A and B are shown apart, each in its own frame.
Chain A
Amino acid sequence: MKVSYQWLQEYLDIDVKPADLAEKIARTSVDINDVYSPSDGLKKLVVGYVESTTPHPDSDHLTLCQVNTGEDTVQIVCGAPNVVAGKKVIVALPGARIGNNIKIKRSKMRGELSEGMLCALQEIGFSENIAPKAYDEGIWFLPDDAKPGESVFPYLGMDDTIIDTDITPNRGDMFSMLGNVNDIAAFYDLKSHFKVQKVNENSSQLTSDLVAVNIADTQLAPTYKMRVIQDIQVKESPLWLQIRLWNAGIRPISNVVDVTNYILLKYGQPLHSFDYAKLPAKQIGVRFAKHEEPFVTLDEDERQLDSQDIVVTAGDKPVALAGTMGGLETAISNDTTSVALEAAIFDPILVRKQARRHDLHSESSTRFERGVNPETVETALNEAAQMIAELGGGAVTKGIVTGSERDLITPTIVLSLSRINHVLGTTLYVEEVVDIFDRLGFTTAIDGEQITVTVPARRWDVNIEADLLEEIARIYGYDNLPSTLPEQSSNIGALTERQQLIRTSRHVLEGLGLNQAISYSLTTTEKATQFQVEPHSNPMQLDYPMSQDHVAARMSLISGLLTDVAYNVARKQKDVQLYEQGRIFVTHPDQKRPEEQEHLAGVLTGELLTDNWHQTEHHVDFYDAKGIVERYLTNMALQQKISFVANHERKEMHPGRTADIYIGETLAGFIGQIHPQVAKDYKIPETYVFELNLELILAAAKKSRHYQLISKYPAISRDIALLLDEGTTNDEILAAINKKGGAHLVNVHLFDVYEGAHLPANKKSLAYTLTYQDSQGTLTEDQVNESFDKVVDYLTDQFNVEIR
């Protein structure tokens, strides 16, 4: 709410600077969006008196005005059609700064000297939505008693400071001057001089003879009251009233409408004024709209209503969308002479939904949504009726017609001093607490350390003990609270084993050169389904997604990482090595929610080490990716054997360059090159990926930590080179060597793989070093030779091999 500092000063003797007041409000009541003055950035704008005008000799729309600006009379060329001698106007003197940071200079306009500019409100910073429509086409006229040469700001309320508050949903009471005055009075311990104007029912007619109100469903409108003001004349409001409105961001329209808005600001009570004569019937009611019931609102929009909308009716015909916007048919016009004035409380939830449905968030609907002060419905109605009668020269009829009225709710809450100090951590005394409630206007009764608090209805956000604690804390001041730390618990703070392993997994992969990526969990259905370790059913779909790119929950991390690669490649970043640790979502038909599995995935493309003076570039390949996975799995110290088994069937993967990864007999992931066609679809180059089901790694049995004695006796090694058929795998050879290696074979190391020019077609060469060692004694050459010969014989027997 845009709160006027000058208006506050009418009700409170405050002498702090507006910025300090705003800071205090922020620390004690509600957040502050901004503190500003309407005159910020403007200068040298003074009152001028147009002494005479003559048409510009060389233009059909410009006027030469002789304007008294205090000491001198100067000539100013003006293009406004409404400029006329005898009026007080806004003059921007040479050197002035007007709206949009425009500087005014002495100039010649079509040969005629112009020593300044006559301004419209829009030209001095008023928004188009706020400047009164009556002056749309021309300059603004100041009051006739304005003194030429004086600054225009005080005349237009532009010397005010506006504190723009950002009100939390619970503090609906702060949507009014009254609420602000009460809170500021409480926290500064000031006396409020809030003034209420009483109504003078100066018409002889009874309101009840003019209208009847029957609220059938008091859920919709718990309180509904009406007054009638007769014989009024609709005209422009006095300037002071217009200033109040425009400084609050509301456009002045006419005396009747302006009064309702003024009262809305002052009390937070939205009012609606109907043209009494145009009401189709004088029986007023409130009901749900009918499905697709047509209704034309004030903004001339013909709307189809919803059966959850609430309407105010006259003889069952809708005349207003309750609390949201009035109807065009019964709107106040210049011809209105009688006003039926409504002050009501409508159901907050229904108003909120209806405002949302019709995109009609207004000053009124906002207040109904957040709650309206039940204490001042009638006060506001009376004051508005009185003001309309005064400003329109009419008469208020006798009595209020009440259709419904909810009793005031004033909760009584008992709290104890020890409880207060226990929760807040303070050492307050009863007197201090009572003083805070006195300042807030809450009544208290004290019995020892028990304080019984009665909360006024105007603070409908305060209902329970915790609410009172908040009132005490904020008025006492959060700044005054000491700082402590909570008591220790019996838990030792530590990551769980699972959390620690996940963190270690990340650190290992970072140590192996992969940067951590965090991609989106929600993706397209196609991407969500790709690259699953184990093919699952359909991905989890959002009911009402926001964009086509994020409709389903991922079932693999790889597709997200490939999207990251594509993003990089499109930005000329060709060397990308990333990993991600995160959830995938597996749906099960019998479960409400999907299973969330932690996965670990990596992606490698481009050069692993950038080419430099010292190293040659190295384009990533399958074995780089596999090395990372092997190193990671070694660090995880799994008891069971890890194996890589070629899989030619994975749809998105290169059929000849993909392996499934097994922990023992369990499929735990896969690794390989993505299929060139898939790479093309993603618009990425040759890329290698891996994905592991981290849950399986976390759950798998780990090797116990033990130490193996390092043998004191020397090791002996033998090399063997095998010329084999191309299809023979390293795994097969290793298995054979290990099978016949004997007790002392401690290591088999593949040191060379060769395929190519010097070998027969479809042949390859694998070369191994076999290391023998005994922990109990020194091996003899004969012992080693014997073992080695067994291996050679077995290989010769098992494979089509030539030992080289």
Chain B
Amino acid sequence: MGLREKLDELRQQGLKDVDSSQDLDRINDIRVKLLGKKGPIKEALRGMRDLSAEERPKIGQFANEIRDDLTRAIESKRAELEQAKINAQLAKETIDVTLPGSAVSQGQPHVIQQIIDQLVDLFIGMGYEVAVGDEVEEDHYNFEMLNLPKDHPARDMQDTFYVTPEVLMRTQTSPMQARMMEKHDFSKGPLKMISPGKVYRRDTDDATHSHQFHQVEGMVIGKHITMTDLKGTLEVVAQELFGDELKVRLRPSYFPFTEPSVEADITCFNCLGKGCSICKNTGWIEVLGAGMTHPNVLRMAGVDPDVYGGFAFGLGPDRFAMLKYGVEDIRDFYQNDVRFLTQFDQKG
């Protein structure tokens, strides 16, 4: 058998062995055996010295080809087996991805806080400052400065927790109107403020009444503030909270501290104006009270009503939350059942 035939046989046998290998150790053995220093190819090449000078390069080239073929076959088989080994490992590591993830505790803001924060952020974006007032107020600021003298009939509308004849639990966030006007430097431009907080009324708690609830007061006073500004502002609020497609309508109303006074309704978000049980078939839902600040209120706070004017509004986050989420009992907000607290998605 000539050297060429011998080499060819080596190739055939080697490729067969590689192909039939089933594990990496075996492949390694084959590599060492075939391609190692004492392997048959090296051995065969050693016999080259017996060849003629013409034959020698040809056989040498042939031997190299065979070595390369075998090397390629071995590497390819090794890669294949390694991949199979990894695949087997991964298959073994496979888990049930539908099992629940580990519990991570995270708390949520209270739904009323969410609404207040949403409003605060909205108004901050419009250049308002946030003024937080005291919950225990003077009668003077809660009533008198708001054009509600002692015998005013509107005082009947809001029964009050008095502490002393002059001190009370504030019944509204409106006392901040006078307090902020007194403090504001109008030479620096208009006063634009909102004031969120707790308020208190002498009510018996039931599904629709709570002796404690929240209000957000808003006020803008300047030289060029108009009723159309009020309307535009209320539209922004309603659409931010309840959706862009809703319309706002203003109706005449009465508050001692504004004139004109209006009540703002939005299109019922449930029926979009067709009429349903939520809007009592009117297609509208009353969401807040507002108006142009009464000249007496300006005057009492030391602001000249002939030069300055503006608007104020007050809205109830509790009522908003009840409307928005369909909460049926206002007491739910203050009893803090964890099942209640945890169902309001923060981004909602």
Please list the residues of chain A having a beta carbon within 8 angstroms of any beta carbon in chain B: 26-31, 168-171, 348-349, 352, 356, 369-370, 422-426, 464-467, 469-470, 473-474, 478-479, 481-496, 499, 503, 506, 509-522, 540-547, 550, 553, 564, 567-568, 571, 573, 575-579, 582-583, 585, 592-594, 596, 608-610, 612-615
Question: Are the C-beta atoms of B190 and A487 separated by less than 8 Å?
Answer: yes
Which residues of B from 100 to 117 have beta carbons under 8 Å from A?
100, 102-103, 105-110, 112-113, 117
How far apart sit A286 and B252, CA to CA, in the bound complex (Å)? 37
Question: Are the C-beta atoms of B337 and A573 separated by less than 8 Å?
Answer: yes
Question: Are the C-beta atoms of B228 and A515 separated by less than 8 Å?
Answer: no
Is B12 an interface residue when CB atoms closer than 8 A count as contact? no
What is the distance, in angstroms, from A615's C-beta to the closest C-beta of chain B?
6
Cβ–Cβ < 8 Å partners of A564 in chain B: 335-336
Question: Are the C-beta atoms of B161 and A522 separated by less than 8 Å?
Answer: yes
What is the distance, in angstroms, from B271's C-beta to the closest C-beta of chain A?
16
Question: Are the C-beta atoms of B163 and A423 separated by less than 8 Å?
Answer: no
Partner of B108 from the list A483, A515, A546, A571 (CB cut-off 8 Å) is A515
Cβ–Cβ < 8 Å partners of B295 in chain A: 464-466
Question: Are the C-beta atoms of A577 and B105 separated by less than 8 Å?
Answer: yes
Cβ–Cβ < 8 Å partners of A583 in chain B: 135, 198
What is the distance, in angstroms, from B283's C-beta to the closest C-beta of chain A?
9
Partner of A486 from the list B110, B134, B192, B334 (CB cut-off 8 Å) is B192
Question: Are the C-beta atoms of A516 and B341 separated by less than 8 Å?
Answer: yes
Is B277 an interface residue when CB atoms closer than 8 A count as contact? no
Question: Are the C-beta atoms of B108 and A516 separated by less than 8 Å?
Answer: yes
How far apart sit A349 and B156, CA to CA, in the bound complex (Å)? 11
Please list the residues of chain B having a beta carbon within 8 angstroms of any beta carbon in chain A: 99-100, 102-103, 105-110, 112-113, 117, 120, 123-130, 132, 134-138, 151, 153-154, 156-157, 161-164, 166-167, 169, 188-192, 198, 200, 202-205, 211-212, 220, 222, 224-229, 231-233, 235-236, 249-254, 259-263, 292, 294-295, 309-310, 333-339, 341-342
How far apart sit A592 and B139, CA to CA, in the bound complex (Å)? 12
Chain A residue nearest to B222 in the complex (CB)? A487
Cβ–Cβ < 8 Å partners of B99 in chain A: 613-614
Question: Are the C-beta atoms of A518 and B134 separated by less than 8 Å?
Answer: no
How far apart sit A26 and B310, CA to CA, in the bound complex (Å)? 24
What is the distance, in angstroms, from B263's C-beta to the closest C-beta of chain A?
7
Known: A542-B163, A571-B337. A483 touches B260 (CB 8 A): no
Chain B residue nearest to A510 in the complex (CB)? B107
Cβ–Cβ < 8 Å partners of B337 in chain A: 567-568, 571, 573
Question: Are the C-beta atoms of B102 and A503 separated by less than 8 Å?
Answer: no
What is the distance, in angstroms, from A593's C-beta to the closest C-beta of chain B?
5
Question: Are the C-beta atoms of A30 and B252 separated by less than 8 Å?
Answer: yes
How far apart sit A489 and B129, CA to CA, in the bound complex (Å)? 10
How far apart sit A517 and B263, CA to CA, in the bound complex (Å)? 31
Chain B residue nearest to A573 in the complex (CB)? B338
Apart from A488-B127, A512-B107, A514-B107: 8 A-B pairs, beta carbons within 8 A: A352-B156, A484-B229, A484-B231, A486-B310, A489-B192, A493-B127, A511-B106, A522-B161
Question: Are the C-beta atoms of A596 and B251 separated by less than 8 Å?
Answer: no
Cβ–Cβ < 8 Å partners of A585 in chain B: 135-136
Cβ–Cβ < 8 Å partners of A511 in chain B: 106-107
Known: A464-B295, A470-B259, A515-B107. A483 touches B235 (CB 8 A): yes
Q: 28 A–B contact pairs at CB < 8 A?
A: A169-B254, A348-B153, A349-B153, A426-B228, A465-B295, A466-B259, A473-B260, A474-B252, A474-B260, A478-B249, A478-B250, A483-B228, A484-B229, A489-B189, A489-B222, A492-B127, A493-B124, A496-B130, A503-B117, A517-B110, A520-B211, A522-B200, A543-B164, A575-B338, A577-B105, A578-B107, A608-B105, A610-B103
How far apart sit A608 and B157, CA to CA, in the bound complex (Å)? 46
What is the distance, in angstroms, from A318's C-beta to the closest C-beta of chain B?
24
What is the distance, in angstroms, from A226's C-beta to the closest C-beta of chain B?
28
How far apart sit A609 and B101, CA to CA, in the bound complex (Å)? 12
Question: Are the C-beta atoms of B226 and A424 separated by less than 8 Å?
Answer: yes
How far apart sit A366 and B6, CA to CA, in the bound complex (Å)? 125
Cβ–Cβ < 8 Å partners of B124 in chain A: 493-495
Cβ–Cβ < 8 Å partners of B130 in chain A: 495-496, 499
Partner of B211 from the list A469, A473, A550 (CB cut-off 8 Å) is A550
Partner of A517 from the list B157, B231, B341 (CB cut-off 8 Å) is B341
Question: Are the C-beta atoms of B260 and A495 separated by less than 8 Å?
Answer: no
Question: Are the C-beta atoms of A596 and B226 separated by less than 8 Å?
Answer: no
Chain B residue nearest to A479 in the complex (CB)? B249
Question: Are the C-beta atoms of A493 and B117 separated by less than 8 Å?
Answer: no
Cβ–Cβ < 8 Å partners of B136 in chain A: 540, 553, 585, 593-594, 596
Cβ–Cβ < 8 Å partners of A426 in chain B: 227-228
Cβ–Cβ < 8 Å partners of A567 in chain B: 335-337
Known: A28-B252, A522-B200, A546-B211. A510 touches B106 (CB 8 A): yes
**Once A and B bind, how many residue pairs between them come within 8 Å at the CB atom?**
271
How far apart sit A474 and B261, CA to CA, in the bound complex (Å)? 10
Chain B residue nearest to A572 in the complex (CB)? B339
How far apart sit A407 and B161, CA to CA, in the bound complex (Å)? 40
Cβ–Cβ < 8 Å partners of B192 in chain A: 486, 489, 491, 493
How far apart sit A424 and B205, CA to CA, in the bound complex (Å)? 40
Cβ–Cβ < 8 Å partners of A348 in chain B: 153
Question: Are the C-beta atoms of A516 and B110 separated by less than 8 Å?
Answer: yes
Cβ–Cβ < 8 Å partners of B154 in chain A: 169
What is the distance, in angstroms, from B125's C-beta to the closest C-beta of chain A?
6
Question: Are the C-beta atoms of B292 and A423 separated by less than 8 Å?
Answer: yes
Cβ–Cβ < 8 Å partners of B250 in chain A: 27, 478-479, 481
Cβ–Cβ < 8 Å partners of B137 in chain A: 593
Cβ–Cβ < 8 Å partners of B190 in chain A: 486-487, 489
What is the distance, in angstroms, from A175's C-beta to the closest C-beta of chain B?
14
Question: Are the C-beta atoms of B228 and A484 separated by less than 8 Å?
Answer: yes
What is the distance, in angstroms, from A369's C-beta to the closest C-beta of chain B?
6
Question: Are the C-beta atoms of B127 and A26 separated by less than 8 Å?
Answer: no
Cβ–Cβ < 8 Å partners of A478 in chain B: 231, 249-252, 262
Question: Are the C-beta atoms of A568 and B338 separated by less than 8 Å?
Answer: yes
Cβ–Cβ < 8 Å partners of A484 in chain B: 226, 228-229, 231-232
Question: Are the C-beta atoms of B134 and A612 separated by less than 8 Å?
Answer: no
Known: A491-B192, A564-B335. A518 touches B233 (CB 8 A): no
Partner of B338 from the list A169, A493, A576 (CB cut-off 8 Å) is A576
Cβ–Cβ < 8 Å partners of A465 in chain B: 295
Cβ–Cβ < 8 Å partners of A610 in chain B: 103
Chain B residue nearest to A486 in the complex (CB)? B229
Known: A469-B292, A486-B190, A550-B211. A516 touches B113 (CB 8 A): yes
Cβ–Cβ < 8 Å partners of B188 in chain A: 489-490
How far apart sit A515 and B136, CA to CA, in the bound complex (Å)? 27
What is the distance, in angstroms, from B252's C-beta to the closest C-beta of chain A?
5
Cβ–Cβ < 8 Å partners of A495 in chain B: 120, 124, 130
Cβ–Cβ < 8 Å partners of B249 in chain A: 27, 478-479
Cβ–Cβ < 8 Å partners of A499 in chain B: 130, 132
Question: Are the C-beta atoms of B125 and A493 separated by less than 8 Å?
Answer: yes
How far apart sit A547 and B201, CA to CA, in the bound complex (Å)? 12
How far apart sit A517 and B332, CA to CA, in the bound complex (Å)? 11
Chain B residue nearest to A490 in the complex (CB)? B189
How far apart sit A171 and B164, CA to CA, in the bound complex (Å)? 33
Question: Are the C-beta atoms of A486 and B262 separated by less than 8 Å?
Answer: no
Question: Are the C-beta atoms of B334 and A518 separated by less than 8 Å?
Answer: yes
Partner of B153 from the list A369, A493, A506, A514 (CB cut-off 8 Å) is A369
Chain B residue nearest to A546 in the complex (CB)? B202
Chain A residue nearest to B101 in the complex (CB)? A614
How far apart sit A289 and B12, CA to CA, in the bound complex (Å)? 132
How far apart sit A516 and B231, CA to CA, in the bound complex (Å)? 34
How far apart sit A509 and B124, CA to CA, in the bound complex (Å)? 24
Question: Are the C-beta atoms of B336 and A568 separated by less than 8 Å?
Answer: yes
Question: Are the C-beta atoms of B212 and A506 separated by less than 8 Å?
Answer: no
What is the distance, in angstroms, from B72's C-beta to the closest C-beta of chain A?
46
Cβ–Cβ < 8 Å partners of A481 in chain B: 227-228, 231, 250
Chain B CB within 10 A, most for which of A474, A518, A576, A596: A518
What is the distance, in angstroms, from B269's C-beta to the closest C-beta of chain A?
19
How far apart sit A610 and B130, CA to CA, in the bound complex (Å)? 40
Cβ–Cβ < 8 Å partners of A573 in chain B: 337-339
